Amino acid sequence: MSNASNPFGQVLVAMVTPFTADGEVDWPGVEKLIDELITGGADGIVVSGTTGETSTLTDPEKIRLVEVGKEVAAGRAKIITGGGSNETAHAMQLARQSEKAGADGNLVVTPYYNKPTQAGILTHFRMIADATDLPVILYDIPGRTGVPIKYETILRLSKHPNILGVKDAKGDFSEVSRVLNQTDLLYFSGDDANVLPHLAIGASGLIGVTANVAPGPYRVIVDAVNAGDLATATAAHKSLEPLVRAIMTHVPGTVAAKYILHGLGRIGSPRVRLPLVGPEEWEAAEIENEIDLVQGIPGLDLRNFRPDRNAAAGGALPRVAGTTR
């Protein structure tokens, strides 16, 4: 699928939000990372998504991330906001503010903790989609939200003119095929380990965490699949496997991605905000053991990987708290 038929792009990075050691947003670090990711092959950047620690960002920080993203991207990539909330009115407000700030799209997660019925989920997404002209990607991740977006609900939502895509972190490949057959929705893999399988059955692209560290191989996989070159796509998939395991299996992906990016000198601090904390000694050791297995990823030189367990320890309490109005 060409990017001409996909307004979001195909290789989207769920970007971490670089913080200073005391937990404030490192704005120069944000600019540097966005530029690196776009140069490395990303078509789009999701700011203030789950990986960006949206739960502990304030609304002004979320809006500023969109503004900075647009400034740095300068038309080279799309900037998509992670505009979800478990309060519909708040999500609608964030959508309007993000649109005004220049966002190119809105990634909206299923309401979490409330555990609404499918009727509530349907109404929630429709009202957010109605609130602006931003194209919406539904984010289906029941492992975090407690409830799935059921197939029948996805079909009904697909009829909304502003709802254009789904980020799938449910892992039900038969349902992916079913939705692709029955709708025109764009499907994005939301599971780093399953990017190639998703693309192989017709997904439009990916929204990835591991791509913070290595966007290049995902560019290779997408381009190879589009060209019908399964061998090249499979080789890139295999080279990514230990890196995906390092980032996605021992601690939350945000924590591991920041730990590795800092160890590579690409962000100034591995700090995360509480209740997230840096890896404990044994978790850090597991991440480092996986990194030792990574080979043959173009543009990723791990010879200078210098992890700092002390810098990563604990979590920060920022000066300004809260994400609601």
Q: β-pairing, 163-168 with 44-47?
A: unpaired
Alpha carbon distance 302, 260 (integer Å): 10
**Secondary element (H or E) of residue 236:** helix 230-248
Is 207 annotated as a binding-site member?
A: yes
For 110-133, the DSSP string reads PPPSS---HHHHHHHHHHHHHHSS
117 is in an annotated binding site: no
Give 13's contacts (C-beta < 8 A, 6+ positions apart): 37, 42, 44, 45, 46, 207, 208, 211, 212, 215
DSSP single-letter state for residue 319: S
> What burial letters (b/e) apply to 112-121, b meaning 16+ CB within 10 Å?
beeebeeeeb
What is d(CA 31, CA 51) in angstroms, rounded to the nearest whole number?
17
Which residues form the catalytic set? 139, 167
Three-class secondary structure of residue 80 per DSSP: strand
Q: Which segments are annotated as binding site for pyruvate?
A: 51, 207
Q: Which segments are annotated as binding site?
A: 51, 207
